[in-house]
Structure 1
Amino acid sequence: MARPKLAVWKFASCDGCQLSILDCEDELLAIADRIDIAYFPEASSRMAPGPYDLSLVEGSITTADDVARIKDIRDQSRTLVAIGACATAGGIQALRNTADVAEWTRLVYPRPEYIETLATSTAIADHVRVDLELHGCPVSKAQLVELVTAVLAGRRPQIPSAVQCVECKRHGTPCVMVSHGTPCLGPVTRAGCGNLCPSVGRGCYGCFGPVEGANTDALAAQFRRLGLPEAAQRALYGGVTCAAPAFAAARGRHD
């Protein structure tokens, strides 16, 4: 039987999620003979034509050309997965969504008339049907391996949906808010990072985006008990997942 064809695509991003794929060296070697990496410019000059069985898409949509290209990719892909914070929530570049992009362009570029960009940076799912999303900045290496393995096995990937606080409990990490009053987005953030920041005494920055049903109002009440000013609360939601609906709404309430 023909091997499933994998394609990896880039839009507006830092390439970190693609590098996470390349970082799966041992795991990729174990399945390399079962999958055809047909299109992955970050890793190879080989660019085989579609259709593709699995497309992994990194980055957000920021130009009119991006909109046309993602629709073409969707047409060529049996399964399309958005990977990382840019592809699932617009990325750090989505901070421009509430700003005057024309004014920013005028201030940054000596010839702004040459810049063609949309007023917003948006997730892949805002433009085409997405079969699955892998969150994070960067995306979880373990989740990437599980995704590709599941596709090869013909089953649905087992991707965690727990809140970050559950991951802290599993690792035996003391709550940074309870133990020393450090502001933390863990109670409203999806787990998946491997418990990076709380394990070294830092609050969660929300890199994996809001968990389903995120109660940002309850968290705001806790922040007020800690004496955190409204402006500081708003800044907490201004990271790489700032445009995820629950976090964008929370930012708006602290204006």
Structure 2
Amino acid sequence: MTDPAPSPGRARPRLGVFKFASCDGCQLTLLDCEDELLGLAAEVEIAHFLEASSGVAPGPYDLALVEGSVSTPEHMERIRRIRAESRRLVTIGACATAGGIQALRNHADVTEYLETVYARPDYIETLAGSTPPSAHVPVDFELRGCPIDRAQLLEVITAFLAGRRPGIPDHSVCFSCKQRGAVCVLVAHGTPCLGPVTHAGCGALCPAYGRGCYGCFGPAGTTNLGALVPVLRRDGMSDEDVGRFLHTFNVTAFTAAEEKDLP
């Protein structure tokens, strides 16, 4: 990050929020900021945010937040247009950083899905796979989560508007468990848990309540599935169970981690 923050005399930075293939949960996280959103709205011009207002203004945008995966030919054209109109582009959520749960189709025959689900599949225009925007355009930052964490989102917006790199740690959920004093469900109870290989950001919500981590925030900065998978098998999971455990919200990201860590 080398660009300076706007000076007090300049116009407010312009923010655009855009949706692709997703459930809207990450945009709702921004709306759920409530009091903080009021302060943010005073500092920026929200030029495009259909989840919040039907009133939109064309680019350029100082910061674009993009939720959702690229899943149709129209999406490919639109993400390139948004990138061209945006000074900074940040993808938010599992769909936008790893293709989302809809990327399960990347490992199957999308034509078969179309014929099974739709009465007239010839009316459907779709790509064979679901991919994050970073597969098509340069992205300045990826914020993980399904959905994203409110505090992390505010940190990202604040950082980019101030001209600095966001202070988002890339350590695993295990660090968060230790910070909040949660008992390790994997060690103490033999509960399958992806915490050792999952990016922190949820505050170790599931382990704190005695449940194993489901990997909502995707792989941590450093993963070692080669060490974790034998433990999951020890605790009663079959190879098929392990595959299903990993291939959910962040299927493509964990698949890449498997290829790196597993023989």
Contact 1:234–1:250 under 8 Å retained in 2: no
How far does the alpha carbon of each residue in 1:129-174 deviate from its partner, in whole angstroms, 9 at most, with x for none? 0000100000110011111222232222111211110000001001
Residue number in structure 2 paired with 1:46: 55
How far does the alpha carbon of each residue in 1:211-246 deviate from its partner, in whole angstroms, 9 at most, with x for none? 1231111111211222321111111012110111x4
Structure 1 residue aligned with 2:195, among 164, 186, 198?
Answer: 186
Contact 1:3–1:36 under 8 Å retained in 2: yes
Output the CA distance in 1 between the equivalents of 2:39 and 2:159. 14
Output the CA distance in 1 between the equivalents of 2:126 and 2:151. 34
Structure 1 residue aligned with 2:82, among 50, 73, 80?
Answer: 73
Q: Secondary structure at the match of 1:86?
A: helix
Residue number in structure 1 paired with 2:68: 59
Output the CA distance in 1 between the equivalents of 2:39 and 2:232. 46
User: CA 1:168 to 1:231, structure 2 compared with 1: closer, same or farther past 3 Å?
Assistant: same
Output the CA distance in 1 between the equivalents of 2:112 and 2:218. 28
Residue number in structure 1 paired with 2:5: none
CA deviation after TM superposition for structure 1 residue 249, in Å: 5.4
2:250 aligned with 1:250: no
Residue number in structure 1 paired with 2:114: 105
2:24 aligned with 1:8: no
Stretch moving more, 210-219 or 57-66: 210-219
User: CA 1:235 to 1:248, structure 2 compared with 1: closer, same or farther past 3 Å?
Assistant: farther
How far does the alpha carbon of each residue in 1:21-68 deviate from its partner, in whole angstroms, 9 at most, with x for none? 000111111232211000001101111111000000000000111001
Q: Secondary structure at the match of 1:197?
A: helix
CA deviation after TM superposition for structure 1 residue 112, in Å: 0.9
Q: What letter corresponds to residue 115 of structure 2 in structure 1?
A: R
Output the CA distance in 1 between the equivalents of 2:183 and 2:227. 20
Contact 1:237–1:250 under 8 Å retained in 2: no
Residue number in structure 2 paired with 1:226: 235
Output the CA distance in 2 between the equivalents of 1:137 and 1:169. 22
CA deviation after TM superposition for structure 1 residue 84, in Å: 0.2
Q: TM-score, normalised by structure 2?
A: 0.93
Contact 2:106–2:130 under 8 Å retained in 1: yes
Contact 1:210–1:247 under 8 Å retained in 2: no
Residue number in structure 1 paired with 2:182: 173
Contact 2:15–2:46 under 8 Å retained in 1: yes
Q: TM-score, normalised by structure 1?
A: 0.95
Gaps of 5+ in 2: 1-9
Output the CA distance in 2 between the equivalents of 1:99 and 1:215. 27
Output the CA distance in 1 between the equivalents of 2:129 and 2:40. 38
Contact 2:226–2:261 under 8 Å retained in 1: no
CA deviation after TM superposition for structure 1 residue 247, in Å: 3.3
2:256 aligned with 1:241: no
CA deviation after TM superposition for structure 1 residue 253, in Å: 9.6
Q: Secondary structure at the match of 2:90?
A: strand
Residue number in structure 1 paired with 2:205: 196
